[in-house]
Amino acid sequence: MMGFTDRLDKSHISYVLDEPMSSHTTFKIGGKADYLITVDTKAELIEALSACKDNNIPYMMLGNGSNLLISDDGIEGAVIALSGEFKEISVDGDAITAGAGAKLSKLCTVALDNSLGGLEFAYGIPGSVGGAVFMNAGAYGGEMKDVVSSVTALTRNGELRTYAADELALGYRTSIFKANGDIILYSKYKLHSDSKEAIKARMDDFMHRRVTKQPLEYPSAGSVFKRPEGAFAGTLIEQCGLKGKTIGGARVSEKHAGFIINIGSATCDDVMDLVKLVQDTVKAETGYFLEREIIRTGR
């Protein structure tokens, strides 16, 4: 059997060895991945996945790394990033189709440029289109489920499947893809015509709220905890006096208690220890258990 890297070389698939994942996450935390593979086409993706399977190499897909906390010991196997055709965005009337590797902010800008409203809530969410669908990202009263009309994915059997909106099981920070392991390739959005001025005003308003209320000046992975029913995670954390609580290089933001920030050289263990401290304290003092939203992965 042909060796793993030999197959990648033969197929002209781009990869690097021992890539620090701290360079690929918004938390700026994470050890080395054995392989970081970048694919530009469906054919390259299918071949890379086949090479992983034939060589018993585990793999994970990487978006913009905005909701990930990666182990300091890195990731065993391959991390696969989507580029090339997976970053393309096209417009057809009031519909937009976006590759999973495109940035969500770019999708919002394309909508604005074409006088299409509906995605304003997503402007400023620091993720990829694929990651946003996978997590059903949302903010300011809007969620991806409000605008997604279909998603095309690569199944575990290597087949292309297009899901209609009502097949996506989009719920609070979840989707069918969390359960079935399919890889999101493209998503289509049904938007509505509106004036550029009105769309831009809403985008600017949401961005102003982000800048003034969130610690965007520090590396983080966004909201650490899911919103508990009947309460807000940040409010509960603040009520427990945990703003500014620090373990190593990880700190509960004093600007927004729902964020844990990297104040310098934070490790994965620092963050996880702080997460547990917050969970235990909030549970003991309020009765609420805060479920983690950020995804911890790696060795």
Distance CA(172)–CA(183), nearest Å, equals 19
Strands 138-139 and 142-143 come out as antiparallel
CA-wise closest residue to 284 among 223, 222, 242, 224:
242
Residue 291's contacts (CB-CB under 8 Å, 6 or more residues apart) are 225, 226, 228
Q: What 3-state DSSP class applies to 228? A: coil
Distance CA(126)–CA(152), nearest Å, equals 22
223 is catalytic: yes
Distances (CA, A) of 37 to 12, 71, 81, 153, 182: 11, 19, 6, 19, 18
* Cβ neighbours of 213 (radius 10 Å): 13
Distance CA(181)–CA(66), nearest Å, equals 19
Torsions phi, psi for 115 (to 5 deg):
55, 40
**Active-site residue (options: 7, 173, 202, 251):** 173
DSSP tag of 29: -
293 is catalytic: yes
Buried-state track 240-267, b at ≥16 Cβ within 10 A, e below 16: bebbebebbbbbbbeebbbbbbbbeebb
**Active-site residue (options: 22, 128, 223, 253):** 223
Q: What 3-state DSSP class applies to 159? A: coil
Task: Give the end-to-end CA distance of the chain in Å, rounded to a whole number.
Answer: 27
173 is catalytic: yes
Distance CA(236)–CA(285), nearest Å, equals 9
Which active-site residues does the annotation give? 173, 223, 293
